[in-house]
């Protein structure tokens, strides 16, 4: 059994730790998780090698928003959010590059008139 004074000390420690979490920590963590979700899009796109049902315009919009965040976070003095945003932008650049590559590959296949490929 845990003595009562240990529970009080543990409670005080948890309160101290939770109070040290800033909005920058939370936003930066969300940005980092978003980067992993975009990498999941890359994984699925690589497996299917098709871009059907996915709008490149939407992906470009979120890439532009990511670039805005890279400009904006330093002005807010949020370095953790900046690095999380950098991860999201890098993942989006990869994703859009893959979309363009596979979109052109689909067009080449659609217009291929030669024999025995």
What domains are defined for the chain? 23-110 (1.20.1280.290)
Place of tokens 């807010």: 76
pLDDT score of 79 more than 90: yes
22-41 in b/e form (b: 16+ CB < 10 A) is eebeebbeebbebbeebbeb
pTM here is 0.78
* Token pair for 78: 């949020």
DSSP 8-state code for residue 115: S
* Token pair for 7: 């529970």
Alpha-carbon distance 56 to 99, whole Å? Answer: 7
Length of the chain, please? 117
pLDDT of residue 14: 85
pLDDT of 13-49, one tens digit each? 889 888 889 999 999 999 999 999 999 999 999 999 9
Place of tokens 């590959």: 105
Reference 96, options 58, 66, 69, 65; nearest CA is 58
Average pLDDT, the chain: 88
How much helix, strand and coil, in percent to the nearest 5, is found in the chain?
80, 0, 20
Alpha-carbon distance 33 to 27, whole Å? Answer: 10
């Amino acid at each position: 059994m845990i003595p009562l004074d240990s529970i009080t000390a543990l409670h005080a420690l948890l309160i101290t730790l939770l109070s040290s979490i800033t909005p920058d920590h939370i936003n930066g963590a969300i940005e980092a998780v978003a980067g992993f979700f975009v990498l999941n899009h890359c994984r699925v796109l690589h497996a299917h090698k098709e871009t059907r049902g996915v709008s490149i315009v939407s992906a470009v919009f979120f890439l532009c928003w990511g670039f805005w965040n890279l400009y904006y976070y330093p002005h807010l003095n949020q370095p953790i959010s900046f690095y999380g945003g950098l991860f999201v932008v890098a993942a989006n650049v990869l994703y859009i590059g893959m979309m363009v590559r596979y979109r052109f590959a689909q067009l080449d296949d659609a217009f291929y008139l030669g024999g025995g490929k």
